[in-house]
Amino acid sequence: MPRISDPAPEFVGQSTQGTVNFPSDYAGKWVILFSHPADFTPVCTSEFMTFAMMTEEFRKYNTELVGVSVDGLHSHIAWLRTIRDNMDFRGWKNVDVTFPLIDDVSMQVSQKYGMIMPGESETSAVRAVFIIDPAGKVRTILYYPLSTGRNFDEILRVVKALQTTDEFGVATPADWRPGERVIVPPAGTMDVAEKRMSGQEDGVECADWFFCTKELPEDTIENALQKK
């Protein structure tokens, strides 16, 4: 199983959108690689419809989606056609899944990414999420059990937080969303700590020398991130 900051394990897979060379096909982009337990299952269907409806929103932030499961390519195609032709979820109908869904019957990809957890199932992947940056490094790992659908607003929030950290050199506090105050790097010297605590660093507010924040307007963030 890869760890945060490791290079994303490489693979070549057949998908509903053709051959995928991962992660090289996505060089320069952020990628969400996610697994699901099985085609033609209700929780997975709700998730794929949600991801499909959010595809363009993720692309605003230079982020592509790639799904994977241990089902075969023909099953994938039939399932995505069923989603498009028959499914109605939250009022969404005729939902077309345009991102690739990888055939992983061999479990090669699932094993490389630690998606098979025998306590849940020895033959199906859990609901794993890997957020991978434009350099091909793993930046976030999330796991959900078979029974629990993912929180897609949180996945998008994490993408924005990671990109904000990279762009502005800050950290983001608990429950942060664009427009809220961000955390500036801790003071590295006594002099900087003294200046911050005495209010000499413009725009920086400190609860204590190691916990300092500043404003970062939402439009500043959105303008920067959506240009990438």
The catalytic site residues sit at: 44
Which segments of the chain does DSSP mark as H helices, in order? 42-59, 73-86, 108-112, 152-168, 190-197, 218-225
Of 186, 188, 187, 178, which Cα lies nearest the Cα of 216?
178
Buried b (16+ CB within 10 A) or exposed e, 77-112: eebbeebeeebebeeeeebebebbbbbbeeeebbeb
Phi, psi of 16 (to 5 degrees): -65, -10
The Cα–Cα gap between 162 and 164 comes to 5
Residue 181 known to bind ligand: no
Phi, psi of 95 (to 5 degrees): -80, 120
| Cis ω for the linkage preceding 118 (within 30 of 0) | no
Please list, in sequence order, all residues whose beta carbon lies within 8 angstroms of the beta carbon of residue 77, skipping any fewer than 6 positions away. Answer: 16
Phi, psi of 185 (to 5 degrees): -55, 140
Contact between 51 and 65 under an 8 Å Cβ cutoff? The reply is yes
Q: Is 97 helix (H, G, I), strand (E, B) or coil?
A: coil
Task: Report the binding-site residues.
Answer: 127
Task: Report the binding-site residues for substrate.
Answer: 127
